[in-house]
Structure 1
Amino acid sequence: MTATFNHIIIPANDAEVSAAYYRNLLEIVDAPSWGPFANLIMSNGVLLQLAKAPRTFDSLHFAFLVDDEHFDRVLASLIESRTDYWGDPQRSHNEINHEDGGRALYLLDPGGHLVELLTRPYV
């Protein structure tokens, strides 16, 4: 069997708030939850498990590939809500980037993790 990505636990200050954020941002749905997890399922079957961290945690970086229409919806929502986003992971350019033949932007989730949305994979 070839290895495939199955799930990730994303530490959160508030699992429900973070789950709502990712549900809206990625346009994904709830999955059955158990224990400390607020679970979401992506269309490719990958499970995102949001859980309140037992202690402080370092910021992580998550990148999600979306189609152009999804990217347009997110960008319009960010502009409308005046939410900060950047074109680079260092958060120095307040614009989307057009590298690699697509578009990408970076924003912070409620737990302080850097979320990247891109329309073309790097490889």
Structure 2
Amino acid sequence: MSVELNHTIIAAKDRRESAEFLAHILGLEVGPEMGPFLPVQTANGVTLDFATVPPEHITTQHYAFLISEPEFDEAFDKIKKLGITYWADPHQKRPGEINRNDGGRGVYFMDPSGQAMEIITRPYGSGEPEPAS
């Protein structure tokens, strides 16, 4: 059996703001509305369907995106230019840093609705651990 993730729904205070934010950072496009959803599709065919919900119904989730080294440079430059706070770790203990896990680079940041986003250039567990500081 072949199992693939097809889509997921991302709760947002404003679906357009969150979809456009992520699409801009990752160099993707926002698709046409599909009922209550505003889709952003990734290169591997997974669609992120942004849906506006009341803020009290938003539970922070984590979304990690595997991108190339040049794409990381572009995305990270956008994060810095927009003045977005970023961290090297998911617990937000290392602000203003990136990580070098598995011989790649990674960074965590929040979207406008408080969803935890991450971009990485190497899948976790695929290489060398980050050197001790």
Letter in 2 for 1:102: G
Scaled by the length of structure 2, what TM-score is found? 0.86
DSSP 3-state at the match of 1:30? coil
Structure 1 unaligned segments of length 5 or more: list them.
none
* 1:3 matches 2:3: yes
- Report what 1:71 is aligned to: 72
Name whichever of 96-105 and 77-86 sits farther off.
77-86
Name whichever of 9-18 and 54-63 sits farther off.
54-63
- Kindly, what percent of the aligned residue pairs are identical? 37
- Report what 2:63 is aligned to: 62
> Quick one: distance in 1 between partners of 2:78 and 2:11?
25
CA RMSD, Structure 1 to Structure 2 (Å) = 1.3
> Quick one: distance in 2 between partners of 1:99 and 1:83?
21
> Quick one: distance in 2 between partners of 1:79 and 1:32?
28
Structure 2 unaligned segments of length 5 or more: list them.
126-133
The answer as to whether partners of 2:29 and 2:41 remain within 8 angstroms in 1 is: yes
Give the count of matched residue pairs.
Answer: 123
Deviations 1:16-37 (A, max 9, x none): 0011011111211233422111
